[in-house]
Structure 1
Amino acid sequence: MTAEFIDSLAVMLLALGMTTAVGSMYFLFSALGNEKKIQSLLFPAAGIGVFDFLSGFIMSFTWPLPSSYNMLFGDPLLMAGLLLTVSAIAYYKHYDISSVSILLFFLGIYIIIESVGIVNYHLETGNDLLAAMGLYVVDGIAALLSPVMFIDPKKGKAAYIVEAAILAIGTLIALFIGYTAIYGHLLDFIKYFP
């Protein structure tokens, strides 16, 4: 079997898992009041955010995959990367980043709409459907709930921990799909020579 296109989804899923892991740790450390740990997340967040933005941008505007998969995968990663990078820089500069959660809320709506599209347009089937729906629904819910950032972490500790847990679940799903994908893609592309 030869590959008909370059498939960068495995590494993008790895990056998405890293993105949601950083988000999960941010909410957890905020709930615990550990500012030093939050500061330690800023440079990794900016780096992975830039990667997400660039890989999403390339996918959204060059369409390396067949059909609407470019919108399904590229668009949300582009926006998530942009918001993660902006948040990391703003937090580093000591700005309040709670307003970013409104933009994440809008991204959550977009992701939930994509979840409906996955089912209605049969973009994924069988075992892939369950994993894809799990990823999109969990990440969509996490984005929809991100305005908990407007609550003081000391007063809304439980809300921050719930958000951290949801993002951790999204992390595990993204990493599972990404690791499974890279294993399969190694065989799919074994005889591919550009």
Structure 2
Amino acid sequence: MVFVDLLTSQLLSVGFSGVILAYVALCAYLSKNKDDRAANLKAGAIPLAVLGVYMLASGLYGQFTWPLPGSYNILFYDVYVMFGAVLVGLALAFHSAVKLKYMGLFGLMFGATAMLYGAFGYQASLSSAPSILFGLYALFGLGGILGYPLTLLLDVEKSKNRQGAWQLVPWLFALAVTLGGLLAITICLVAVPAHLASAP
């Protein structure tokens, strides 16, 4: 049987996605006008689409083949595939210049689900470092939840979207997904030596 070990590259794709999402969101929010914002979103659609398609394809492979030990497949691949779907949907919305609030609602539901999965994984101790596992899921879950108000901000004119506490939303979103992305990359890089050593 062919040996397949996708976990490290999948963690990297999660990490890269978090950092790129933060960058695209802030570039769009800080854009000078509507056309500049649309251009930033359209440009950001390309890397997000590439990552989203990879995550969907490799995640569906994982769901069908269960390459991880037991319940880890459910804990990781359920959320991973949903994240890939969110990224592909965002990329299509960014490229098509349509209203973003519907994808924002999808992101909110993904975020709440990710938090629940993280809590369940922590409660069941499905990791040698349950706090790190929960942190990863919680950060991306928070990012997904904040993604909904962020899309509402991006759907309105710049002069109307910087009032009160709403000003904090893009920065909190960027902070959550950046920290989540860096955590995913760190987990991956720590795991690489063991994965290299265990390859047949």
Sort the TM-score into its range (normalised by shorter chain): 0.7 to 0.9
CA contact (8 A) 2:42 2:97 kept: no
Paired letter, 2:66: W
CA contact (8 A) 1:108 1:140 kept: yes
Divergent runs of 4+, >6 A: none
2:47 to 44, 47, 51: 44
| Deviation at residue 38 of structure 1 after TM alignment | 3.1
Name whichever of 134-143 and 154-163 sits farther off. 154-163
Paired letter, 2:13: A
What does the per-residue CA deviation read over 1:13-48, in whole Å, with 9 as the maximum and x for residues that have no partner?
A: 000011112211122112211534433211111111
| Deviation at residue 139 of structure 1 after TM alignment | 0.9
Q: Which runs of 5+ in 1 are unaligned?
A: none
Secondary structure of 1:99's aligned partner: helix
Name whichever of 131-140 and 31-40 sits farther off. 31-40
Answer yes or no: is 1:27 the counterpart of 2:25. Answer: yes
For residues 7 and 132 of structure 1, the distance between their equivalents in structure 2, rounded to whole angstroms, comes to 19
Paired letter, 2:177: L
Answer yes or no: is 1:140 the counterpart of 2:141. Answer: yes
Paired letter, 1:150: L
Answer yes or no: is 1:13 the counterpart of 2:3. Answer: no
For residues 45 and 182 of structure 1, the distance between their equivalents in structure 2, rounded to whole angstroms, comes to 24
Paired letter, 1:30: A
2:130 equivalent in structure 1: 129
CA contact (8 A) 2:12 2:185 kept: yes
Instruction: Write the mapping of 1:1-194 to structure 2, written as runs, cut at 5 A.
Output: 6-33=4-31, 35=37, 36-125=39-128, 128-148=129-149, 149-151=151-153, 152=156, 154-155=161-162, 156-189=166-199, 192=200
For residues 40 and 108 of structure 2, the distance between their equivalents in structure 1, rounded to whole angstroms, comes to 25
Q: Which runs of 5+ in 2 are unaligned?
A: none
**Under a length normalisation based on structure 2, what TM-score does the superposition of the two structures give?**
0.85
Over aligned residues, Cα RMSD in angstroms?
1.7
Bigger relative CO (Cα 8 Å, ≥ 6 apart): 1
CA contact (8 A) 2:12 2:188 kept: yes
For residues 81 and 123 of structure 1, the distance between their equivalents in structure 2, rounded to whole angstroms, comes to 22
- Identity of aligned pairs, percent? 25
For residues 143 and 96 of structure 2, the distance between their equivalents in structure 1, rounded to whole angstroms, comes to 25
User: Residues 166, 80 of structure 1: CA spacing in aligned structure 2 closer, same or farther, 3 A cutoff?
Assistant: same
| Deviation at residue 56 of structure 1 after TM alignment | 1.1
For residues 107 and 64 of structure 2, the distance between their equivalents in structure 1, rounded to whole angstroms, comes to 21
